[in-house]
Amino acid sequence: MSKLTIEEIHRRFSSSNDFNEIFDAFEAALNNKIEDIELYRLLFWNDSLTPEELCLFGEKLVQVFPAIAFEVYMWLAKVFEVIYSMYDNCELALQYYTKAALINPESSEPYIAVSDCYDHDLKVPSIDMIIDFVIKGSQLVNNPSVLYKRLAELYEKIGNDEQSDFYRRKAEESGGTTPEE
């Protein structure tokens, strides 16, 4: 394989439609020990890649650069949520938000993001899975008030006023005036 410049890797990640060309660029980036998450975000937004290919690149990237695992998992989850939700890959978004939460359980970011990805009209991903995930997160994050607010909103969406009121009170009791992000 020829040595690729950072500019060529950048070009391939952002605009190539050929998997082999993209894969060669990815291998070159890893061989050059490029740990720049911004570069890999271009790769993740390349709409010629399938969800399986994105997972392959993301998991390999985390193996090679574990220090950026949280960012990789969050970014993949966002890609699956935004681009592939039309293909019912909300489950992949949830899977990668869960992986991000395992890397950094004190961060409220993955839990907030999951609560935002529920589509009330399509009923995806499963609201029960989302609620369970956010409840677990509320026990781990440094300031759970924002997650209590999200739980109140989720329960309100499914018509469970009792649980909604319960979590609103918990949010207020725990300092519910905290910024959400």
pLDDT exceeds 90 at position 166? yes
Is residue 75 situated within a structural domain?
yes
Residue 171 CA to residue 141 CA, distance in Å, equals: 13
Residue 117 CA to residue 171 CA, distance in Å, equals: 21
pLDDT at res. 1? 46
Is residue 96 situated within a structural domain?
yes
pLDDT category at 89 given cuts 50, 70, 90 is low
Extract the tokens encoding 152: 């109140």
Number of compact structural domains in the chain: 1
76: enclosing H helix or E strand? helix 69-82
Phi first, then psi: give them for residue 119, nearest 5 degrees.
-105, 105
Q: Are 72 and 35 in contact (CB under 8 A)?
A: no
Please list, in sequence order, all residues whose beta carbon lies within 8 angstroms of the beta carbon of residue 56, skipping any fewer than 6 positions away.
Answer: none
Domain of 90, in residue numbers: 50-173
pLDDT at res. 74? 97
Q: Are 130 and 118 in contact (CB under 8 A)?
A: yes
pLDDT at res. 92? 87
pLDDT at res. 91? 81
Task: Provide the whole-model pTM.
Answer: 0.86
User: Dihedral of CA 118/114/39/28: which sign?
Assistant: negative
Q: Which residue has the tokens 């300092």?
A: 175
pLDDT at res. 82? 83
CATH code, domain carrying 144: 1.25.40.10
Please classify residue 48 by burial: count the beta carbons closer than 10 Å to its beta carbon, then call 0-12 exposed, 13-18 middle and 19+ buried.
exposed
pLDDT exceeds 50 at position 179? no
pLDDT one-digit tens code per residue, 90-138: 788 889 999 999 999 999 999 999 988 877 776 667 889 999 999 999 9
pLDDT one-digit tens code per residue, 55-80: 999 999 999 999 999 999 999 999 99
pLDDT category at 85 given cuts 50, 70, 90 is low
Is residue 60 situated within a structural domain?
yes
pLDDT exceeds 90 at position 3? no
pLDDT exceeds 90 at position 17? yes
